[in-house]
Amino acid sequence: MANSDTILRVGMAQISPVWLDKQSTIKKIIDQITAAGRQHCELLVFGEGLLPGYPFWLSLTKATVFDSRIQKEIHAHYVRNAIQVESGELDDICKACKTHKIAIYLGIIERPASRGGHSLYCSLVFIDAGGNICSVHRKLQPTYDERLTWSPGDGHGLQVHPLKKFSVGGLNCWENWMPLTRTALYGLGENLHVAVWPGSDYNTRDITRFIARESRSFVVSVSSLMGKTDFPKSTPHLDSILADCPEVLANGGSCIAGPDGEWLVEPLIGKEGLIIQDIDHNRVLEERQNFDPVGHYSRPDVTRLEVNRTRQSVVDFNEEFKDQ
């Protein structure tokens, strides 16, 4: 059990969603929070877009065909199962975090009311051990065919959060390849980086160690699982999705690298469940001795980064109320 304020017990929930079924997936997430709490985890991380699932149909159903009835009906199903945070749809998950005194990073598909409530964003939510939603980071740039269903986010969620001696921040999938976005988190004091992925060691095996060596931080990469048999029978146009579907769409690959870039947990392939590792903040201090990307090994007089963290909205309402 992690007792010292320098030791943090981290859990990685490498699981599949109940695909595009938000209520059933929420139940599965709460089960993982409960299991992690029983094993005294202090931070639990889930994969990208786990709630309610990654848009795997796009690459399987000719998603670029304009005005396709198939695409419209699957997309509408996706929207119906997306999460509206301000409507309280994460409340049960927040209660579970509070009950088990555990912080989480959770990948969701968000349909924010402040953007009209119909467009989707791939968001990474941090909930603290008191059950408070502390940040919602919308993926800055959806990747490739993701742009057919997800909207580009903004910098509002580029935040770090205190967790014992650590400052933890996170990014979605290929955002982790964006050097300026990483630098924004480094500048906030990040020393525990969370990278969430839809799945596959193809994504995690190189970038996890690279970020760790660049930042001299711990890096926790968490992926989901998804197989051909994980598509529910109630999925619209399931026959079209399965026609050319591989047996495995996401094989996991969750892993942890230390501040020296070496593996603490090597990518785990094809196994569902909870992966637990204790990490020691002192290792960060040791590795920053010879390299600190925004500290003693930086030149702000030569290169600087400006970050806009304003939450973007199309409409601002300015109203004056008068007593009647």
Q: Would you say residue 279 has pLDDT above 60?
A: yes
Is residue 308 domain-resident?
Answer: no
Is residue 312 domain-resident?
Answer: no
Residues 106 and 127 sit within 8 Å (Cβ to Cβ): yes
**pTM listed for this prediction:** 0.95
Is residue 119 domain-resident?
Answer: yes
Is residue 76 domain-resident?
Answer: yes
Domain count along the chain: 1
Reference 308, options 143, 126, 181; nearest CA is 181
Residue 122, C-beta contacts closer than 8 angstroms, at least 6 positions apart: 48, 49, 107, 109, 110, 138, 139, 142, 146, 150, 153, 172, 173
Residues 215 and 293 sit within 8 Å (Cβ to Cβ): yes
Residue 299, C-beta contacts closer than 8 angstroms, at least 6 positions apart: none
* pLDDT score of 2: 56
Is residue 303 domain-resident?
Answer: no
Query: Tens of pLDDT along 53-96?
Result: 999 999 999 999 999 999 999 999 999 999 999 999 999 999 99
Transcribe 3-37 into DSSP letters: -STTEEEEEEEE----TT-HHHHHHHHHHHHHHHH
* pLDDT score of 316: 85
For residue 279, the enclosing domain spans 7-287
- Residue 98 carries which side chain, given as an amino acid letter? K
Is residue 293 domain-resident?
Answer: no
- Residue 63 carries which side chain, given as an amino acid letter? A
CATH number, domain containing residue 253? 3.60.110.10
Is residue 58 domain-resident?
Answer: yes
Query: Tens of pLDDT along 174-219?
Result: 999 999 999 999 999 999 999 999 999 999 999 999 999 999 999 9
